[in-house]
Amino acid sequence: MFGTGPRILNHSPIPIDVPDTSVAEELFTAVGRIMETATFDLDTSRLDYAALRGSEAYEAYVDLSSRLRRFDLRQLNSRADRLCFWINVFNCLIIHGIIALGIEESVKEVRGFFRRIAYNIGGWRFSPDDIEHGILRGNTRHPFGLKRPFHPWDDRRAFAVEPRDPRIHFALVCGASSCPPVGAYSPSKVEDQLTFAAEAFINDPSRVLIEPTKESVRLSQIFQWYAKDFGATHKAVLTYLLDYLDPNPARDWLEANLDSAAIHYIPYNWSLNTSK
């Protein structure tokens, strides 16, 4: 149904009369328009892909994505610029891939989805896996992978964002129901935005549930898969939560029981984050 080879999605003709220096800024606007068009639901983190497909906002974004082919990544001077650019590109690439491949129930319908779809950016191929693990996680191997995404001789290593920031896991949206909500990230606000994303995720009981009577904590599998990003040990992961949890008796219990609290993981729901 979907073929077997890699798919470069931003292959539309590039407008010749539009400067490319504003692509990074326009991505921020494009994400906002996508959210509005797709009747984004902040409470359920769901998108209406049917409303988005064929919409003016989606068509405008597809045209914008073609301009990434001649975008000079060296224009991203600051760490904030790079963080926002790659988060926004990742989230748009996932949405683009879901619509372009006609996915209806789950990204799992396409074998190797996160490796298969990609953008040509500045002459380099970037898949979602390349962006998440190679760029935003500082060329760290996939939790289920054996190798780092980029070999030592790979020129894309120069664009890796270091040091890595665990809060990206509350900003990257892989198209699953258990993912965080989509957001539009801006360099001037990214620190506050990432902190807000972390607080929203960690204070959502469907993703982090502290159960003092059971002497345990139930966590999204994100904390299991990326434990090293959050400090590696169980205690370090639980300590990380304390920085973002709202003050309440459950948080107080956790702070007093970091060494003894058991951790159980909430199975990830890979059904599509759609409202239809």
Structural domain includes residue 271: no
pLDDT digits over 40-53, tens only? Answer: 665 656 788 988 88
Residue with tokens 């980029």: 150
Residue where one domain finishes, among candidates 200, 221, 236: 200
Q: What six digits make up the tokens of 3?
A: 């073929």
d(Cα 224, Cα 231) in Å, to the nearest integer?
Answer: 11
With respect to residue 15, please indicate whether it lies within any of the assigned structural domains.
Answer: yes
Q: Please indicate, yes or no, whether residues 230 and 163 belong to a single structural domain of this protein.
A: no
pLDDT tens digits along 151-207: 999 999 999 998 889 999 999 999 999 999 888 999 999 999 999 999 999 999 999
In this structure, the strands spanning 216-220 and 208-211 are antiparallel
Cα–Cα distance between 119 and 106 in angstroms, integer? Answer: 21
Q: Give buried/exposed letters for 14-26 (b at 16+ CB in 10 A, else e).
A: eeeeeebeebbeb
pTM summary value: 0.93
Q: What is the rounded CA–CA span in Å between residue 261 and residue 255? A: 10
Q: State the average pLDDT for the chain.
A: 90
Q: Are 160 and 207 part of one and the same domain? A: no
Which tens digit of pLDDT belongs to each residue from 54-99?
899 899 899 889 999 989 999 998 999 999 999 999 999 999 999 9
Question: In this structure, are 32 and 132 located in the same domain?
Answer: yes
Both 220 and 143 in one domain: the answer is no
Total tally of structural domains belonging to the chain: 2
Domain enclosing residue 257, as ranges: 201-266
Do 227 and 91 lie in one domain? The reply is no
- Same domain assignment for residues 248 and 192: no
- Inside any domain, residue 276: no
Answer whether residue 243 is part of any domain. yes
Tell me: do 159 and 259 sit in the same domain: no
> Does 273 map to a domain?
no
Whether residue 107 is predicted with pLDDT greater than 90 in this model: the reply is yes
